[in-house]
Each structure stands twice: as structure tokens, then as C-alpha cells.
Amino acid sequence: MQRSVFTPDHEEYRRLARTFVEKECLPHNERWEAEGIVDRAAWLRAGEVGLLGPAVPEQYGGAGIDDPRYGAVVAEEFATAGIGGFAIQLHNDLIGPYLLELTTDEQKARWLPGYVRGELITAIAMTEPVAGSDLRGMRTTAVRDGDHYVVNGSKTFISNGILADLVVLCAKTTRADGEQGISLIVVERDTPGFERGRRLDKVGARSQDTAELFFTDARVPVANLLGEENEGLHYLMRNLATERLSIAVSSVQNVFRALELTTAYVRERKAFGKPIGSFQNTRFVLADLQARAWMARSFVDACLAALVAGELTGVEAAAAKLCATELEDAAVDAGVQLHGGYGWMNEYPIARMYRDSRISRILGGSNEIMKEIIGRSMQLG
């Protein structure tokens, strides 16, 4: 279907992203999957060609284009190519707003040039062994001691945890009234008391390094505080809609990729003397997915347009994430089923999609949380 959310400038940027993926990612992707990490050289190359931090002002090396559609274009191209481990969306779409909206001039000058060049890879540390979707349950603390915070605690499931040079840490700090709030503090790579644990052995997206992080009396300068102390939960909630829409964009693109792979296979694979695509069951399964894919893309594009206009609500973003990821799961599962035994073989892209896509229903808040957000908005009682 014809899409109206993108302009010719976005399509030109798409060609740039596609060329980067083809030349700098696909030739190395199998090795990245085996090693469980993406080369730092690829991040540097992404910075060189202009794929990192397009919203960063020109004075810090960016393009100064604050338009989330450019991030959506990049997300779609990585999804189309099946590059599931290069966490460019995390760097651009999730971390970017914190580094642009909450930083002082001094912090911008210190971090943004390296962020744009790919020299400073980023991560955000929210999840803990005992606190996932419930951010208020986190136990990591940052206690003020003069010009430093003394940080103690641990984080887990942190994407880019091994590569990250800047970690946006979510930690409990104490309010004037004695109650605890959440603050966002940037922890730099060589901070004493900051250690990385093991690289976690994941089912899918294996080339995206995911790690445990540990903080033992880590001394972080107060100058690394993002925004106001104890306002971290507000900042996190404000940016969650952008994160969830970013996930939805990738998931919808994965639906179309799964359909493309499966359609090609059922046209060629024969059973009982004719292509399995000619069977009514095959047609019905793929027709249903095709119709739902068009509908999902229309809704996600509408949400993207709303984000550009500053009108996207948290409920709409939750709905986009819920619908897109559930459909992604259905499309990939149907693809594996229609591939038969070959769908279980790693040499077939649909098998890797089966491994990689499952996390999307958990990322950015589980889909059960998305239903809760939508349900509460309906004022049912």
C-alpha cells in the first residue's frame, strides 16, 4: 500500500541505511551472531555515514533534524535485512531523547560528539533481578556524598551492556522529605566500582550483547545527573511511548518480511504434485496475515505521524506495541509452520526470525502491561 508518512528526504535516508546494512552489516552478521557482539568498528562506520543521532544539533556533529521518522526508516531497514543485534534503535530512539532533552550545555559538549561518531556507545540500565516492569521496585541506590553519588546495586538484561561507554543508570535517590525517588545518572565506562558481569546467553538476537552490571560503592560525579534529582520516573514514563512505538515499527516490518519469506517458499515447495501455496489452508492463513499486516502498518504509521506532531499518547503507543508484536509472533509462527521441517533449520531465515522475534512481546514493558495501560484508560470500573 502507498504510505504517506514518509517524504522523499526520508526515502533518500532509507537508501543510505540500506547501503550501510548491505555493506557493513550483512557480511559480518553470522560472525556477530557466533561471537555474541557487534564490532565497535561497525558503530564507528555508522557514525561516519550519519546514521547515529540525527537529531543532535550540528554544533555537536549531528544533522540537527529532530524527526523520529528518520529513526523509523533505519529500524525498518535493519528489520528487512534481519539484523537483529545492532542496537541502533536503542542508541538513537531511546537514549537519544535523554541526552538531548535532559543534559546541560557542559554535558552535551562532553558526550554528544562521541555519541554521534559512534565512539560512545550507550545503554540504559533499568531492569534488575527483582524489578522488571515495576520500576518502583528497583533497589539500586545512589547516595549523595559531596560532589559524587555512591552507587550500589545491580542491573540485568542490559542491551549493549558490554559495549556501552555511557550507561544511563536508574537508581533510587532520597528526597528532602526522606522518601525515595528515582534519578537518572550517567555512568561512564571507567568509573571505579562499576563492573560488567557475564554476557548473557540469549535465545535470540544473539549478536546484541546483553549483560549484567554491578555497582559496588561506585563513585559517579553529581555532574553526571540527568535533569532534576528524583524526577527520573517522570522522565522514563515520558519517553516510554517513543520506545514502544519504535518496537512496533520493527515488529510490523518483521511481519512483512515473514510474509515475503513464506510466500516465496510456498510458491516453490511442492506436495502431492503441486505448490503448497495452492492449498486453501495456505491461502487462508497468508491472506489473513496480509490483511492484518496492512491494518497494523496503517495504525503504526498514524502513530508515527502523531509522534511527529507531538500528539502521540502513551495509550496509543501501548496499543501499537501490543498489536504489532502479537501480529509479528503470529506471522513468524505461521511462517515456520508452512515451511515444515525446513522452518526448524537455522539455515532458513524464518528460523532465526522465530528466535529473534519472541522478545518483542517482553521488551519495552510486557504485553500484559500494555493491556493494563489500555484497560485503565477505558475507565471500566
Query: Which residues are known catalytic residues?
Result: 243
Query: Contact 148/222 with Cβ under 8 angstroms?
Result: yes
Contact 24, 78 (CB under 8 A): no
CA atoms within 13 A on the CB side of 44: 4
- Compute and round to an integer the Cα radius of gyration of the chain: 21
Residues 321, 300: Cα–Cα separation, whole Å: 9
- Strand, coil or helix: what is 229? coil
| Best CA proximity match to 183, nearest among 175, 174, 194, 171 | 171
Note whether 83 and 21 are within 8 A (CB). yes
CB 264 within 8 A of CB 282: no
SS3 269: coil
Cα 70 to Cα 97, 128, 359, 373: the distances in Å are 14, 31, 24, 27
Checking DSSP bridges between strand 122-125 and strand 166-174, what pairing results, if any? parallel
Please give the sequence-ordered ranges of beta strands (E in DSSP) within 102-193, or none if there are none.
122-125, 141-145, 148-159, 166-174, 180-188
For residue 100, CA distances in Å to 47, 54, 60 come to 17, 11, 11
Return d(Cα 120, Cα 61) in angstroms, integer. 13
331: cell is 506471522
How many helices (H) and strands (E) in the chain? 12, 10
Rounded CA-CA distance 128/126 in Å is 7
Any bridge partners for residue 171, and if so which?
Answer: 183
Q: Count the Cβ atoms, other than its own, within 10 Å of residue 376.
A: 10
Rounded to the nearest 5 degrees, what angle is found at the Cα of 365, between the Cα atoms of 359 and 371?
Answer: 105
